[in-house]
Amino acid sequence: MLTKERLQNFETGLNPLAPQSSPIPCEIMGYGEISTVLKIDNDSDLAAKRMPMFSSISAADEYAGNYQSYCNRLREAGLNVPEDTTISVNGHGGITVLYILQKQLPPERFCHKLIHSEAPDYISGMVHLIVKEIEKVWTYNAEHEPNLKLAIDGQLSNWVLLESGELLFIDTSTPLMHEAGREVLDPELLIQSAPSFLRWLIRWQFLDDVMSRYYDRRLVYTDLIANLYKEQQPELVTPWIEIINAETGNRMESLDKKQIESYYKEDKVIWSLFLGLRRLDRFIKTKLLGQRYEFVLPGKIKR
């Protein structure tokens, strides 16, 4: 059991440059643009999503509240969202770190893994199931217009299909939703994970785009299929376009392969540039300025 006290000790002892060498053991289960997903203290029940971007306890509490209502609304819409809790602890330099503790799920059952391990029939069944779940969000939004609108990041690595046939949605740590026409998530929190010298550019050029794409049915499906290029399964693109076009019928303008390809290319450039610049920012902060860099980034550290 990960108690608040144990997590506080973990956070206090954590070196974000080398999380695996922390006094309390930890393994990295996944990287996000914002959160890092950790297995802490050999606890095989929990996936701990670490979010080190709050200037106060009340800011973390507010985020946790929004997070809970996002999960509850997804459940109301009919999606399976794993059990969870949140705990906030004191970080270094006066910040507050929020941990979202989600039930840990078997890594090999994540859908971006299953497309490499399962037979074609199973995989097309899986896509049908994912589309059915995503459609529940649009149905929910139509029923709650104009008071409430949920966003969803439908990419493959956010879905877990258990052997029992149950499909779970796990990417709930960025609670994007509109209440009475207003975005609930404070964009400045997302910006915290960006390199400091680029924040003005991201605010100006990219933020609106990133924050609005997950509300748009066609973009959510475009993003889902674009994943197939990253996963080196381009032969699935055409069959998936056909499945999704058939399932969504006249509710959406048909998906187009060329558009998906160029979406993928652009997205790849943006995210790899973003990661490269985050590494540069970390280098400047830690090596040149002797400061602490809070985010755990993928890839090796040069020492």
Residues of this chain that bind ligand ATP (CB under 6 A): 29-30, 32-35, 37, 47, 49, 82, 102-105, 107, 110, 157-158, 170-171, 173-174
Residue 24 contact among ligand ATP, Mg ion, none, beta carbon within 5 to 8 Å by kind: none
Q: Strand 96-103's sheet: what is its strand order?
A: 26-31, 36-40, 46-54, 96-103, 84-90
Q: Shortest distance, CB of residue 72 to ligand ATP, whole angstroms? A: 17
Distance of alpha carbon 129 from the chain centroid: 20
Residue 174 contact among Mg ion, ligand ATP, none, beta carbon within 5 to 8 Å by kind: ligand ATP
Q: Which of 35, 66, 88, 158 binds Mg ion (CB under 5 A)?
A: 158
Residue 35 or residue 96: which is nearer to ligand ATP going by CB? 35
Residue 79 contact among ligand ATP, Mg ion, none, beta carbon within 5 to 8 Å by kind: none
CA–CA distance, 94 with 25 (Å, rounded to integer) = 24
Sort strands 177-179 and 148-150 into parallel, antiparallel or unpaired.
Answer: antiparallel
Residue 22 or residue 158: which is nearer to ligand ATP going by CB? 158
Q: Shortest distance, CB of residue 30 to Mg ion, whole angstroms? A: 7
Residue 129 or residue 210: which is nearer to ligand ATP going by CB? 210
Q: Shortest distance, CB of residue 193 to ligand ATP, whole angstroms? A: 8
Residue 105 or residue 277: which is nearer to ligand ATP going by CB? 105
Distance of alpha carbon 197 from the chain centroid: 24
What residues contact residue 138 under an 8 Å CB cut-off, 6+ apart? 217, 251
Q: Which of 171, 223, 281, 294 binds Mg ion (CB under 5 A)?
A: 171
CA–CA distance, 99 with 49 (Å, rounded to integer) = 5
Residue 22 or residue 102: which is nearer to Mg ion going by CB? 102
Q: Shortest distance, CB of residue 178 to ligand ATP, whole angstroms? A: 17
List own/partner pairs for 9-14 with CB under 8 A and 24 or more apart: 10/40, 10/41, 11/89, 11/90, 11/91, 11/97, 12/90, 12/92
CA–CA distance, 59 with 99 (Å, rounded to integer) = 13
Residue 68 or residue 104: which is nearer to ligand ATP going by CB? 104
251: which strand partners?
none
Q: Shortest distance, CB of residue 291 to ligand ATP, whole angstroms? A: 23
Contact predicate 239/124, CB 8 Å? yes
Q: Give the residue closest to ligand ATP by C-beta.
A: 32
The candidate with the shortest Cα–Cα distance to 219, out of 134, 128, 142, is 134
Q: Per CB under 5 A, does 193 bind Mg ion?
A: no
Residue 101 or residue 236: which is nearer to ligand ATP going by CB? 101
User: Where do contacts with Mg ion occur on this chain (CB under 5 A)?
Assistant: 158, 171
